[in-house]
Amino acid sequence: MWFITGFYVILIVIFTNKVDGQKKDQEDFECPSATGTGNFADPVTCRRFYQCVDGHPYVNRCPSGLFFDDISKYCTFPNEARCGPIASTPAPITERPTDLAEKCNPAECQLPYCFCSKDGTVIPGNLEPENTPQMILLTFDGAINLQNYDHYRKVLKPKRKNPNGCPIKGTFYVSHEYSNYQMIQQLASEGHEMGTETISLQTGLQDKGYEEWVGEMIGMREILRHFANVSKSEVVGMRAPFLKPGRNTQYKVLEEFGYIYDSSVGVPALPIPVWPYTLDYKIPHECKSGTCPTKSFPGVWEVPLNAHYIEGFEGGHCPYLDQCVLHNHDPDEVFEWLQEDFLKYYDQNRAPYMMAFHTNWFSIKELEKGLDKFLDWALTLPDVWFVTTTQALTWMTDPKSAKLLNNNYEPWSCSKRETLPPTPCKVASKCALAFKKENFTDTRYLETCQDCPNQYPWLGDATGSGIPNKDNYVPDNV
Protein backbone atom coordinates (compact mmCIF):
# COMPACT_ATOMS: atom_id res chain seq x y z
CA MET A 1 0.00 0.00 0.00
CA TRP A 2 2.81 2.25 0.90
CA PHE A 3 4.45 1.32 -2.41
CA ILE A 4 1.46 2.50 -4.41
CA THR A 5 1.11 5.64 -2.30
CA GLY A 6 4.82 6.35 -2.67
CA PHE A 7 4.54 5.88 -6.42
CA TYR A 8 1.85 8.58 -6.63
CA VAL A 9 3.91 10.86 -4.41
CA ILE A 10 6.84 10.45 -6.81
CA LEU A 11 4.60 11.20 -9.80
CA ILE A 12 3.18 14.28 -8.10
CA VAL A 13 6.66 15.52 -7.27
CA ILE A 14 7.87 14.90 -10.84
CA PHE A 15 4.80 16.62 -12.30
CA THR A 16 5.13 19.51 -9.85
CA ASN A 17 8.82 19.92 -10.68
CA LYS A 18 8.05 19.79 -14.40
CA VAL A 19 5.35 22.46 -14.12
CA ASP A 20 7.56 24.54 -11.87
CA GLY A 21 10.38 24.13 -14.40
CA GLN A 22 8.14 25.22 -17.24
CA LYS A 23 6.96 28.18 -15.20
CA LYS A 24 10.58 29.08 -14.44
CA ASP A 25 11.54 28.73 -18.12
CA GLN A 26 8.60 30.86 -19.15
CA GLU A 27 9.59 33.46 -16.59
CA ASP A 28 13.19 33.45 -17.84
CA PHE A 29 12.31 33.69 -21.57
CA GLU A 30 11.54 37.14 -22.87
CA CYS A 31 9.52 37.60 -26.04
CA PRO A 32 11.16 39.92 -28.59
CA SER A 33 9.83 43.40 -27.94
CA ALA A 34 9.77 44.32 -31.62
CA THR A 35 7.47 41.42 -32.49
CA GLY A 36 5.57 40.37 -29.36
CA THR A 37 3.75 37.52 -31.11
CA GLY A 38 5.02 34.40 -32.88
CA ASN A 39 7.06 31.19 -32.39
CA PHE A 40 10.65 31.42 -31.12
CA ALA A 41 13.39 28.85 -30.47
CA ASP A 42 14.25 27.78 -26.95
CA PRO A 43 17.82 28.94 -26.26
CA VAL A 44 18.56 25.70 -24.33
CA THR A 45 17.21 22.89 -26.52
CA CYS A 46 15.88 22.34 -30.04
CA ARG A 47 13.14 20.08 -28.71
CA ARG A 48 11.18 23.04 -27.41
CA PHE A 49 9.99 26.42 -28.61
CA TYR A 50 8.09 29.33 -27.17
CA GLN A 51 4.85 30.69 -28.52
CA CYS A 52 4.60 34.39 -27.71
CA VAL A 53 1.15 35.93 -27.53
CA ASP A 54 0.99 39.66 -26.91
CA GLY A 55 4.43 39.54 -25.34
CA HIS A 56 3.78 36.58 -22.99
CA PRO A 57 5.72 33.29 -23.62
CA TYR A 58 4.10 29.84 -23.54
CA VAL A 59 6.48 26.86 -23.67
CA ASN A 60 5.76 24.13 -26.24
CA ARG A 61 7.51 20.81 -26.95
CA CYS A 62 7.95 19.32 -30.40
CA PRO A 63 6.45 15.83 -30.96
CA SER A 64 8.78 12.90 -30.22
CA GLY A 65 11.70 12.71 -32.65
CA LEU A 66 11.17 16.22 -34.11
CA PHE A 67 13.13 19.45 -33.61
CA PHE A 68 12.09 23.10 -33.90
CA ASP A 69 13.30 24.86 -37.08
CA ASP A 70 13.92 28.51 -36.17
CA ILE A 71 13.79 29.67 -39.79
CA SER A 72 10.56 28.00 -40.90
CA LYS A 73 9.14 28.29 -37.35
CA TYR A 74 7.78 24.72 -37.11
CA CYS A 75 8.88 21.27 -35.84
CA THR A 76 10.58 19.01 -38.39
CA PHE A 77 13.04 16.10 -38.73
CA PRO A 78 16.43 16.54 -37.02
CA ASN A 79 18.38 16.53 -40.31
CA GLU A 80 16.20 19.38 -41.63
CA ALA A 81 15.89 21.52 -38.51
CA ARG A 82 17.94 24.67 -38.20
CA CYS A 83 18.28 25.00 -34.46
CA GLY A 84 18.05 28.38 -32.89
CA PRO A 85 18.00 30.97 -31.77
CA ILE A 86 19.11 32.23 -35.18
CA ALA A 87 19.66 35.96 -35.50
CA SER A 88 16.88 37.37 -37.60
CA THR A 89 17.65 39.12 -40.89
CA PRO A 90 17.53 42.89 -40.40
CA ALA A 91 14.38 44.47 -41.72
CA PRO A 92 14.72 46.20 -45.07
CA ILE A 93 15.95 49.76 -44.77
CA THR A 94 12.99 52.03 -45.22
CA GLU A 95 14.92 55.31 -45.08
CA ARG A 96 15.22 57.28 -48.31
CA PRO A 97 18.36 56.43 -50.29
CA THR A 98 20.98 59.11 -49.76
CA ASP A 99 21.30 59.80 -53.50
CA LEU A 100 17.69 60.98 -53.86
CA ALA A 101 17.15 64.71 -54.15
CA GLU A 102 15.92 66.42 -51.01
CA LYS A 103 13.15 69.01 -50.77
CA CYS A 104 14.05 72.59 -51.61
CA ASN A 105 16.18 74.44 -49.08
CA PRO A 106 16.04 78.12 -50.13
CA ALA A 107 18.67 79.09 -47.54
CA GLU A 108 21.21 76.80 -49.26
CA CYS A 109 20.04 77.41 -52.83
CA GLN A 110 21.27 80.77 -54.09
CA LEU A 111 21.37 82.37 -57.53
CA PRO A 112 23.07 82.35 -59.98
CA TYR A 113 23.84 78.64 -59.60
CA CYS A 114 20.76 77.31 -57.83
CA PHE A 115 17.07 78.23 -57.77
CA CYS A 116 14.13 76.54 -56.09
CA SER A 117 11.06 77.27 -54.02
CA LYS A 118 8.70 75.12 -51.98
CA ASP A 119 6.00 74.86 -54.66
CA GLY A 120 7.90 76.32 -57.62
CA THR A 121 5.79 79.49 -57.84
CA VAL A 122 8.17 82.05 -56.27
CA ILE A 123 9.58 84.76 -58.56
CA PRO A 124 13.43 84.84 -58.77
CA GLY A 125 15.02 87.61 -56.75
CA ASN A 126 11.79 87.93 -54.77
CA LEU A 127 10.62 90.55 -57.25
CA GLU A 128 7.05 91.75 -57.19
CA PRO A 129 4.98 90.67 -60.23
CA GLU A 130 4.66 94.24 -61.50
CA ASN A 131 8.48 94.50 -61.56
CA THR A 132 8.92 91.18 -63.38
CA PRO A 133 9.13 90.88 -67.18
CA GLN A 134 6.52 88.53 -68.60
CA MET A 135 8.55 86.20 -70.81
CA ILE A 136 6.85 84.19 -73.54
CA LEU A 137 8.72 81.13 -74.83
CA LEU A 138 7.73 80.14 -78.37
CA THR A 139 9.03 76.59 -78.81
CA PHE A 140 8.75 74.29 -81.83
CA ASP A 141 9.40 70.53 -81.77
CA GLY A 142 10.51 68.12 -84.46
CA ALA A 143 11.90 68.37 -87.97
CA ILE A 144 12.13 71.71 -89.79
CA ASN A 145 11.25 71.51 -93.48
CA LEU A 146 8.95 72.83 -96.21
CA GLN A 147 5.90 71.63 -94.28
CA ASN A 148 6.40 74.16 -91.48
CA TYR A 149 9.26 76.55 -92.29
CA ASP A 150 7.15 79.35 -93.78
CA HIS A 151 4.66 79.07 -90.91
CA TYR A 152 7.45 79.44 -88.37
CA ARG A 153 8.88 82.42 -90.26
CA LYS A 154 5.44 84.05 -90.24
CA VAL A 155 5.19 83.70 -86.45
CA LEU A 156 8.71 85.07 -85.99
CA LYS A 157 8.51 87.80 -88.63
CA PRO A 158 10.95 90.69 -88.03
CA LYS A 159 8.21 93.31 -87.67
CA ARG A 160 7.19 91.69 -84.36
CA LYS A 161 9.50 93.39 -81.90
CA ASN A 162 10.19 93.26 -78.18
CA PRO A 163 10.06 96.44 -76.03
CA ASN A 164 13.75 97.15 -76.82
CA GLY A 165 13.04 97.21 -80.56
CA CYS A 166 14.69 93.83 -81.26
CA PRO A 167 12.85 91.10 -83.18
CA ILE A 168 11.12 88.42 -81.09
CA LYS A 169 12.91 85.06 -80.71
CA GLY A 170 11.93 81.39 -80.52
CA THR A 171 13.48 78.05 -79.57
CA PHE A 172 13.53 74.92 -81.75
CA TYR A 173 14.01 71.40 -80.39
CA VAL A 174 15.15 69.70 -83.57
CA SER A 175 14.78 66.07 -84.57
CA HIS A 176 16.77 64.77 -87.51
CA GLU A 177 14.68 62.73 -89.91
CA TYR A 178 13.26 64.90 -92.74
CA SER A 179 14.98 68.08 -91.48
CA ASN A 180 16.29 70.68 -93.92
CA TYR A 181 19.60 72.00 -92.57
CA GLN A 182 19.76 75.04 -94.84
CA MET A 183 16.50 76.21 -93.20
CA ILE A 184 17.82 75.41 -89.74
CA GLN A 185 20.98 77.41 -90.42
CA GLN A 186 18.88 80.38 -91.57
CA LEU A 187 16.82 80.38 -88.35
CA ALA A 188 19.93 79.95 -86.18
CA SER A 189 21.76 82.77 -87.99
CA GLU A 190 18.87 85.11 -87.06
CA GLY A 191 19.38 84.39 -83.36
CA HIS A 192 16.71 81.76 -82.79
CA GLU A 193 17.85 79.03 -80.45
CA MET A 194 18.51 75.46 -81.58
CA GLY A 195 18.16 72.67 -79.02
CA THR A 196 18.13 68.94 -79.52
CA GLU A 197 15.21 66.59 -79.45
CA THR A 198 16.69 63.31 -80.72
CA ILE A 199 17.87 61.79 -83.97
CA SER A 200 15.23 59.10 -84.35
CA LEU A 201 12.30 60.24 -82.16
CA GLN A 202 12.04 56.60 -81.11
CA THR A 203 9.37 55.61 -78.62
CA GLY A 204 10.38 54.01 -75.34
CA LEU A 205 13.63 55.95 -75.08
CA GLN A 206 12.77 56.82 -71.47
CA ASP A 207 13.54 53.19 -70.58
CA LYS A 208 16.83 52.99 -72.49
CA GLY A 209 20.35 53.20 -71.12
CA TYR A 210 23.12 55.78 -71.02
CA GLU A 211 24.66 54.91 -74.39
CA GLU A 212 21.31 55.19 -76.18
CA TRP A 213 20.71 58.67 -74.73
CA VAL A 214 24.23 59.78 -75.64
CA GLY A 215 23.77 58.54 -79.20
CA GLU A 216 20.41 60.29 -79.62
CA MET A 217 21.22 63.61 -77.92
CA ILE A 218 24.88 64.15 -78.63
CA GLY A 219 24.52 62.66 -82.09
CA MET A 220 21.77 65.21 -82.83
CA ARG A 221 23.99 68.02 -81.58
CA GLU A 222 26.78 66.77 -83.85
CA ILE A 223 24.42 66.67 -86.85
CA LEU A 224 23.44 70.30 -86.19
CA ARG A 225 27.11 71.27 -86.02
CA HIS A 226 28.10 69.42 -89.16
CA PHE A 227 25.13 70.16 -91.46
CA ALA A 228 23.73 73.51 -90.15
CA ASN A 229 26.92 75.15 -88.87
CA VAL A 230 25.44 75.48 -85.36
CA SER A 231 28.31 75.35 -82.91
CA LYS A 232 28.27 73.04 -79.91
CA SER A 233 28.39 76.05 -77.55
CA GLU A 234 25.03 77.26 -78.94
CA VAL A 235 23.21 73.96 -78.33
CA VAL A 236 22.66 73.92 -74.57
CA GLY A 237 19.08 72.68 -74.17
CA MET A 238 16.99 69.66 -75.08
CA ARG A 239 13.52 68.17 -74.99
CA ALA A 240 12.77 64.46 -74.68
CA PRO A 241 10.51 62.84 -77.29
CA PHE A 242 6.84 62.82 -76.28
CA LEU A 243 7.76 64.64 -73.05
CA LYS A 244 9.02 61.35 -71.59
CA PRO A 245 12.23 62.23 -69.72
CA GLY A 246 14.77 59.44 -69.39
CA ARG A 247 14.72 59.34 -65.59
CA ASN A 248 18.18 59.92 -64.08
CA THR A 249 19.96 58.57 -67.17
CA GLN A 250 19.02 61.44 -69.49
CA TYR A 251 20.03 64.03 -66.89
CA LYS A 252 23.37 62.38 -66.34
CA VAL A 253 24.02 62.86 -70.07
CA LEU A 254 22.93 66.51 -69.83
CA GLU A 255 25.28 67.04 -66.91
CA GLU A 256 28.26 65.29 -68.44
CA PHE A 257 28.01 66.76 -71.95
CA GLY A 258 27.69 70.45 -71.09
CA TYR A 259 23.96 71.11 -71.47
CA ILE A 260 22.48 73.92 -69.39
CA TYR A 261 18.85 72.85 -69.32
CA ASP A 262 16.14 70.36 -70.15
CA SER A 263 12.53 71.19 -71.08
CA SER A 264 10.70 67.87 -70.94
CA VAL A 265 8.82 67.82 -67.63
CA GLY A 266 5.08 68.41 -67.78
CA VAL A 267 3.30 70.15 -64.90
CA PRO A 268 -0.34 69.33 -64.09
CA ALA A 269 -3.02 72.02 -64.23
CA LEU A 270 -2.31 74.21 -61.19
CA PRO A 271 -3.88 77.49 -60.05
CA ILE A 272 -0.48 79.27 -60.12
CA PRO A 273 2.14 78.43 -62.79
CA VAL A 274 5.56 77.01 -61.93
CA TRP A 275 8.83 78.83 -62.69
CA PRO A 276 11.90 77.04 -64.08
CA TYR A 277 14.13 75.58 -61.34
CA THR A 278 17.47 73.87 -60.96
CA LEU A 279 17.62 70.17 -60.19
CA ASP A 280 19.73 70.58 -57.06
CA TYR A 281 16.56 69.63 -55.20
CA LYS A 282 13.44 67.55 -55.65
CA ILE A 283 10.97 68.57 -58.36
CA PRO A 284 8.38 70.82 -56.65
CA HIS A 285 5.32 69.37 -58.37
CA GLU A 286 3.79 66.10 -59.54
CA CYS A 287 5.71 64.38 -62.34
CA LYS A 288 3.11 63.90 -65.08
CA SER A 289 5.17 61.43 -67.11
CA GLY A 290 6.32 59.30 -64.18
CA THR A 291 9.86 59.29 -65.60
CA CYS A 292 11.32 62.47 -64.07
CA PRO A 293 14.76 62.50 -62.40
CA THR A 294 14.89 61.56 -58.72
CA LYS A 295 18.54 62.32 -57.99
CA SER A 296 20.13 65.74 -57.57
CA PHE A 297 21.80 67.29 -60.63
CA PRO A 298 23.26 70.54 -59.28
CA GLY A 299 23.09 73.50 -61.63
CA VAL A 300 21.09 71.73 -64.35
CA TRP A 301 17.92 73.73 -65.10
CA GLU A 302 14.49 72.31 -65.78
CA VAL A 303 12.17 74.52 -67.84
CA PRO A 304 8.84 72.78 -67.25
CA LEU A 305 5.76 72.81 -69.45
CA ASN A 306 2.85 74.12 -67.40
CA ALA A 307 -0.48 72.71 -68.57
CA HIS A 308 -2.60 75.03 -70.71
CA TYR A 309 -6.23 75.11 -69.69
CA ILE A 310 -9.21 77.39 -69.08
CA GLU A 311 -11.43 76.51 -66.15
CA GLY A 312 -14.87 75.44 -67.39
CA PHE A 313 -13.93 76.03 -71.05
CA GLU A 314 -13.75 73.49 -73.85
CA GLY A 315 -10.22 72.57 -74.83
CA GLY A 316 -8.95 70.40 -72.02
CA HIS A 317 -5.47 70.40 -70.48
CA CYS A 318 -2.38 70.19 -72.69
CA PRO A 319 1.39 70.85 -72.52
CA TYR A 320 1.53 71.35 -76.31
CA LEU A 321 -1.02 73.86 -77.58
CA ASP A 322 -1.90 71.69 -80.57
CA GLN A 323 -3.01 68.95 -78.16
CA CYS A 324 -5.82 71.07 -76.74
CA VAL A 325 -9.15 70.56 -78.53
CA LEU A 326 -9.57 73.94 -80.19
CA HIS A 327 -10.33 72.94 -83.77
CA ASN A 328 -14.04 73.72 -83.48
CA HIS A 329 -13.40 77.38 -82.71
CA ASP A 330 -13.05 80.33 -85.05
CA PRO A 331 -9.90 82.55 -84.85
CA ASP A 332 -11.51 84.97 -82.39
CA GLU A 333 -12.41 82.16 -80.00
CA VAL A 334 -8.89 80.73 -80.27
CA PHE A 335 -7.50 84.19 -79.51
CA GLU A 336 -9.77 84.58 -76.49
CA TRP A 337 -8.79 81.13 -75.20
CA LEU A 338 -5.06 81.94 -75.48
CA GLN A 339 -5.63 85.36 -73.96
CA GLU A 340 -7.36 84.00 -70.87
CA ASP A 341 -4.80 81.20 -70.48
CA PHE A 342 -1.93 83.72 -70.70
CA LEU A 343 -3.48 86.07 -68.13
CA LYS A 344 -3.13 83.36 -65.45
CA TYR A 345 0.60 84.09 -65.75
CA TYR A 346 0.59 87.80 -66.43
CA ASP A 347 -1.85 88.63 -63.61
CA GLN A 348 -0.23 86.32 -61.05
CA ASN A 349 3.47 85.39 -60.71
CA ARG A 350 4.58 86.03 -64.33
CA ALA A 351 6.24 82.64 -64.74
CA PRO A 352 7.43 82.22 -68.36
CA TYR A 353 4.49 81.42 -70.62
CA MET A 354 5.55 78.38 -72.63
CA MET A 355 3.83 78.15 -76.01
CA ALA A 356 4.92 74.73 -77.29
CA PHE A 357 3.94 73.70 -80.82
CA HIS A 358 4.17 70.83 -83.26
CA THR A 359 3.58 71.36 -86.97
CA ASN A 360 -0.04 70.23 -86.41
CA TRP A 361 -1.09 73.64 -85.08
CA PHE A 362 -0.24 75.33 -88.36
CA SER A 363 -2.22 72.89 -90.47
CA ILE A 364 -5.49 74.43 -89.19
CA LYS A 365 -6.08 77.97 -90.43
CA GLU A 366 -8.32 78.98 -87.51
CA LEU A 367 -5.59 78.09 -85.02
CA GLU A 368 -2.90 79.92 -86.99
CA LYS A 369 -5.04 83.07 -87.35
CA GLY A 370 -6.01 82.98 -83.67
CA LEU A 371 -2.32 82.72 -82.74
CA ASP A 372 -1.50 85.72 -84.95
CA LYS A 373 -4.10 87.78 -83.11
CA PHE A 374 -2.71 86.70 -79.76
CA LEU A 375 0.92 87.51 -80.62
CA ASP A 376 0.07 90.99 -81.82
CA TRP A 377 -2.11 91.63 -78.75
CA ALA A 378 0.54 90.37 -76.29
CA LEU A 379 3.13 92.77 -77.71
CA THR A 380 0.88 95.72 -76.84
CA LEU A 381 1.10 94.86 -73.11
CA PRO A 382 3.74 96.41 -70.85
CA ASP A 383 6.80 94.27 -70.07
CA VAL A 384 6.00 91.34 -72.39
CA TRP A 385 9.04 89.77 -74.09
CA PHE A 386 9.37 86.91 -76.57
CA VAL A 387 12.76 85.39 -75.77
CA THR A 388 14.62 82.12 -76.26
CA THR A 389 14.76 79.63 -73.42
CA THR A 390 18.42 80.41 -72.79
CA GLN A 391 17.67 84.15 -72.69
CA ALA A 392 14.97 83.47 -70.09
CA LEU A 393 17.39 81.47 -67.94
CA THR A 394 20.05 84.16 -68.30
CA TRP A 395 17.62 86.67 -66.79
CA MET A 396 16.69 84.23 -64.03
CA THR A 397 20.30 83.81 -62.89
CA ASP A 398 20.51 87.57 -62.29
CA PRO A 399 16.97 88.98 -62.12
CA LYS A 400 16.55 92.62 -63.15
CA SER A 401 13.50 94.80 -62.70
CA ALA A 402 11.39 95.04 -65.85
CA LYS A 403 12.00 98.81 -65.88
CA LEU A 404 15.74 98.24 -66.49
CA LEU A 405 15.41 95.99 -69.53
CA ASN A 406 14.16 98.18 -72.37
CA ASN A 407 17.38 99.73 -73.60
CA ASN A 408 20.51 98.38 -71.98
CA TYR A 409 20.02 94.71 -71.05
CA GLU A 410 22.76 93.06 -73.10
CA PRO A 411 21.50 89.41 -73.06
CA TRP A 412 18.29 90.53 -74.82
CA SER A 413 19.86 93.15 -77.09
CA CYS A 414 19.93 93.15 -80.89
CA SER A 415 23.69 92.63 -81.11
CA LYS A 416 24.54 89.47 -83.00
CA ARG A 417 26.67 86.92 -81.15
CA GLU A 418 29.90 85.86 -82.82
CA THR A 419 29.06 82.22 -82.16
CA LEU A 420 25.97 82.26 -84.40
CA PRO A 421 26.29 80.55 -87.79
CA PRO A 422 26.67 82.73 -90.89
CA THR A 423 23.73 83.32 -93.22
CA PRO A 424 23.36 80.10 -95.20
CA CYS A 425 24.10 79.55 -98.87
CA LYS A 426 21.52 80.57 -101.46
CA VAL A 427 21.54 77.17 -103.17
CA ALA A 428 21.76 74.11 -100.91
CA SER A 429 23.15 70.70 -101.76
CA LYS A 430 20.15 68.44 -102.36
CA CYS A 431 21.21 64.99 -101.27
CA ALA A 432 19.33 61.74 -102.01
CA LEU A 433 20.92 59.26 -99.63
CA ALA A 434 20.68 55.59 -98.84
CA PHE A 435 19.08 55.06 -95.47
CA LYS A 436 19.18 51.69 -93.76
CA LYS A 437 16.81 51.47 -90.83
CA GLU A 438 16.47 48.14 -89.09
CA ASN A 439 15.85 45.58 -91.85
CA PHE A 440 14.98 47.78 -94.80
CA THR A 441 16.81 50.25 -97.00
CA ASP A 442 15.12 53.42 -98.23
CA THR A 443 16.06 56.82 -99.64
CA ARG A 444 16.07 59.97 -97.52
CA TYR A 445 16.57 63.52 -98.75
CA LEU A 446 18.73 66.06 -96.98
CA GLU A 447 19.46 69.70 -97.83
CA THR A 448 22.53 71.41 -96.45
CA CYS A 449 25.10 74.05 -97.32
CA GLN A 450 27.77 71.39 -96.79
CA ASP A 451 28.75 68.68 -99.26
CA CYS A 452 26.47 65.67 -99.40
CA PRO A 453 27.55 62.88 -97.05
CA ASN A 454 28.12 59.29 -98.18
CA GLN A 455 24.86 58.11 -96.67
CA TYR A 456 22.02 59.42 -94.57
CA PRO A 457 23.33 60.48 -91.12
CA TRP A 458 21.96 58.35 -88.31
CA LEU A 459 22.67 56.89 -84.90
CA GLY A 460 26.33 55.95 -84.61
CA ASP A 461 27.25 57.90 -87.76
CA ALA A 462 26.18 61.52 -87.30
CA THR A 463 28.26 62.81 -90.23
CA GLY A 464 27.00 60.20 -92.70
CA SER A 465 30.48 58.80 -93.35
CA GLY A 466 29.11 55.34 -94.12
CA ILE A 467 31.21 53.77 -91.36
CA PRO A 468 28.86 51.98 -88.94
CA ASN A 469 29.20 52.84 -85.24
CA LYS A 470 31.85 55.40 -86.05
CA ASP A 471 30.85 57.90 -83.36
CA ASN A 472 32.49 57.89 -79.95
CA TYR A 473 31.44 60.78 -77.72
CA VAL A 474 33.50 61.74 -74.69
CA PRO A 475 31.89 63.66 -71.79
CA ASP A 476 33.02 67.24 -71.31
CA ASN A 477 34.07 66.58 -67.73
CA VAL A 478 36.50 63.75 -68.58
Distance in angstroms (rounded) separating the CA atoms of residues 292 and 282? 10
User: Which tens digits make up the pLDDT trace of 248-292?
Assistant: 999 999 999 999 999 999 999 999 999 999 999 999 999 989 999
Range in 18-22, 101-105, 334-338 with the lowest mean pLDDT? 18-22
Residue with the bigger pLDDT between 474 and 75: it is: 474
Span 125-146, mean pLDDT? 97
Task: Say whether pLDDT at 374 is over 80.
Answer: yes
According to DSSP, residue 62 is labeled: P
Range in 86-95, 174-183, 225-234 with the lowest mean pLDDT? 86-95
Provide the whole-model pTM: 0.79
Distance in angstroms (rounded) separating the CA atoms of residues 192 and 338? 23
Residue 15 has what pLDDT?
43
Q: Is the torsion defined by CA of 360, 366, 367, 371 positive or negative?
A: positive
Residue 14 has what pLDDT?
42
User: Which tens digits make up the pLDDT trace of 343-352?
Assistant: 999 999 999 9
Task: Say whether pLDDT at 41 is over 90.
Answer: no
**389 - beta bridge partners?**
none
Residue 4 has what pLDDT?
44
Task: Say whether pLDDT at 64 is over 80.
Answer: no
Q: How confident is the model at residue 408 (pLDDT cuts 50, 70, 90)?
A: confident
Task: Please state, rounded to an integer, the average pLDDT across all residues of the chain.
Answer: 88
User: Which tens digits make up the pLDDT trace of 379-407?
Assistant: 999 999 999 999 999 999 999 999 999 87
Nearest to 246 by CA among 220, 276, 209, 278: 209
Show the domains of the chain with their CATH numbers: 2-76 (2.170.140), 124-412 (3.20.20.370)
Residue 303 has what pLDDT?
98
User: Which tens digits make up the pLDDT trace of 70-102?
Assistant: 876 777 777 778 887 877 554 444 444 557 899
Q: How confident is the model at residue 420 (pLDDT cuts 50, 70, 90)?
A: very high
Residue 362 has what pLDDT?
95
Task: Say whether pLDDT at 30 is over 90.
Answer: no
Nearest to 307 by CA among 278, 285, 334, 336: 285
Task: Say whether pLDDT at 3 is over 50.
Answer: no
Give percent of the chain with pLDDT exceeding 90.
70
Task: Say whether pLDDT at 478 is over 90.
Answer: no
Cα distances (Å, whole numbers) of residue 116 to 275, 290, 348: 9, 21, 18
User: Measured at the alpha carbon of residue 426, what is the angle toward residues 229 and 153, in degrees to the nearest 5?
Assistant: 75
Edge-to-edge strand order for the sheet containing 38-41? Answer: 38-41, 48-53, 56-61
